Chains A and B, each alone.
Chain A
Amino acid sequence: MTISIRSVEKKFGRYPALNHVDLEIADGELVALLGPSGSGKTTLLRTIAGLEFPDAGQVLFGAEDVTFASAAARRVGFVFQQYALFKHMTVAKNIAFGLDVRKGAEKPSKAEIAKRVDDLLKLVELDGLGSRYPSQLSGGQRQRVALSRALAVQPSVLLLDEPFGALDATVRRSLRKELRRVHDATGVTTIFVTHDQEEALELADRVAILNAGRIEQIGTPHEVHDNPVSPFVCGFVGEANRFEGTVSGGRFTSGAVSFGANGVRDGAAVGFVRPHDLVLDDGGLEVRVDRVHVQGALASVSARAADGHHIEITTSRADAPRFSGAIKVAPRMSHVYPA
């Protein structure tokens, strides 16, 4: 199911949560809505779900205008932030809920429902846990139940609100892979909300970055990481050293730091350099290394420029010994935006 969001606006009281948002999502895509808290990402997701109605604009599923259709009529599968499992029902009853509420000819037979529940439990690798209650499951297992409950109704679109927010790092990583696998297996158009850029970049086909109720940029993880269109995106997606300075004649200068800024107009500007884009260079900026922190195959280097500006460098573990005392570094790549 393709989804089109057209000029959607939503205010809560006088606070604008969504400000003229446009978004096109292709059939079968896995899209992340990424942004800090208060950026409007959850409101956008709930508007797509039919849990909020916009003040203006349109929501289209395929060619159909569903702007004011109920969540049930849209047939969305929604995974809530804290899962919202029905505490007093077994896992199987939870998953079957969306089928049990159907009436008349639409309602599958008991056997069909049981079969569907079994299939879904297998899909999320929870076979045999159907008779447990949610309180008897771990956080990760609850998340899987919520996912299969949302999938049980064979939704036209699967929506997840911070699906991994409440889990510890290890479980989170394995469930990310799980969601990707389930998405690939079912092919259902999937949109998830996250404030974790790593999660968005790793999991999604495309990432929409929201800030203050607007979509700042939408693109593949590569595009938003390597070609951020605004200082906000640059600072939010991936790590970056931030410098405030001026551009003059195609060159950005901030204290002792200076690098090329082709095509940026003269005047005040902000420059960003990703930690892994700083390399040793004899003609570069002189910095003093404070600390080297090795993590897996990489090493993070904390350094300080002559003017006291803190600089983060990422390098390979093998190269780490070369980063000590006074070194000279230069950016391989940088992003400069007029302030």
Chain B
Amino acid sequence: MAAQPARARHPTEDPAWVKVLVIGLVALFLGLVLILPLAAVFAEALRKGVDVALAAITTSDALAAIKLTLITAAIAVPFNAAFGLCAAWAIAKHDFPGKALLITLIDLPFSVSPVVAGLIYVLVFGLQGWFGESLIDHDIKIIFAVPGIVLATIFVTFPFIARELIPLMQEQGVSEEEAAVSMGASGLYTFWRVTAPNVRWGLLYGVLLCNARAMGEFGAVSVVSGHIRGLTNTMPLHVEILYNEYDFVAAFSVAALLCLLAVVTLVLKSVLEIVQPDVKRGGGH
């Protein structure tokens, strides 16, 4: 057997110093921009001890903000899941006039500043808005109330699930559906038994991303919320208020909780990628 050179490297591999340099740069960048601030959040939150931090996130205002955030996500995410599935199905599996326009519209929330998204709702449903007077007449409150917050959140998180599903469904094509229909399956049966199972992992992935954003949305929600403590403050808004009042420990405690929710989401996402390696490629087994 021929002796192996001491430091054999794969023929297509870069020299070691290149790898060290590139990986080092990435690590440095991530550390400075991502990990350091994240660590700072937790450090600040726990500066005066765990008890103080816990107390800060269990005040009635904080609990109300947590509750509102969860309610908002609980409404916005299923809504966008249903819409995303419908839109992706229509776009990927069918041809119809205005398809290109629909695809562009789905991307609109990504390209519009969240503040503008919030203002749109104020303009439409606000006191001086188009429907403002008739809403007051019927005693319906949308702006500076929970419905407005939910609407704004839905708007901002609109594209996440649809964007995840459209390329997946397009790649899968329509031949499985054609096969099902040619064997006598109805459209609905085909959707539940053939289309939906093929995109379930992609859907779950989209739901996680959508959920993370729904809980964290600040700009659009800030415009429509009115910042009424204990009533229309979501967690991100609550953090801002506490911070502006120089209550840093409380602000960072709530922020840390928000980060934890995000971290849980990301962990779930990674677990999903490990148990289901073809999530990004799509498909079932």
Contact = CB atoms under 8 A, between A and B. Distances in A.
A and B physically associate: yes
Interface stretch (A1-9, A83-91, A179-187, A305-313): A83-91
Interface stretch (A97-105, A233-241, A253-261, A273-281): A97-105
Nearest to A93: B193
A239 to B, nearest CB: 33
A133 B285 contact: yes
A76 interface: yes
A87 B198 contact: yes
A230 interface: no
Contacts of B175: 80-82, 84
B285 A78 contact: no
A98 B284 contact: no
A82 B284 CA distance: 16
Contact of A88 (B179, B182, B184, B284): B284
Interface residues of A, number: 25
A91 to B, nearest CB: 12
B176 A86 contact: yes
B285 A135 contact: yes
Interface string B176-187: 101111111110
A226 B184 CA distance: 42
Contacts of A85: 176
A103 to B, nearest CB: 9
A51 interface: yes
A297 to B, nearest CB: 40
B182 A50 contact: yes
B178 to A, nearest CB: 6
A13 to B, nearest CB: 11
Nearest to B197: A88
A320 interface: no
A329 interface: no
A72 B182 contact: yes
B284 A87 contact: yes
A153 B183 contact: yes
B179 A153 contact: no
A113 to B, nearest CB: 13
Contacts of A49: 182
A71 interface: yes
**How many residues of B sit at the interface, in one of the four size bands?**
10 to 19
Given A80-B178, A84-B175, A72 B283 contact: no
B194 interface: yes
Given A86-B194, A88-B284, A80 B183 contact: no
Contacts of B283: 87
Interface in A117-153: 133-135, 149, 153
A78 B184 contact: no
Nearest to A78: B182
A101 B180 CA distance: 9
B189 interface: yes
A71 B176 contact: no
Nearest to A49: B182
Contacts of A82: 175
Contacts of B184: 72, 98, 101-102, 153
Contacts of B176: 84-87
Contacts of A50: 182
A204 B182 CA distance: 24
Contacts of B197: 86, 88
Interface string A230-273: 00000000000000000000000000000000000000000000
Nearest to B190: A101
9 shortest A-B CB distances, which residue pairs?
Answer: A98-B183, A88-B284, A72-B184, A84-B175, A71-B182, A84-B179, A88-B197, A101-B185, A87-B284
Given A78-B182, A86-B197, 14 more contacts: A70-B181, A72-B182, A72-B185, A82-B175, A84-B178, A86-B180, A97-B180, A97-B185, A101-B186, A133-B285, A134-B285, A149-B179, A149-B183, A153-B183
7 contacts: A71-B181, A78-B178, A88-B198, A97-B183, A97-B185, A102-B184, A149-B179
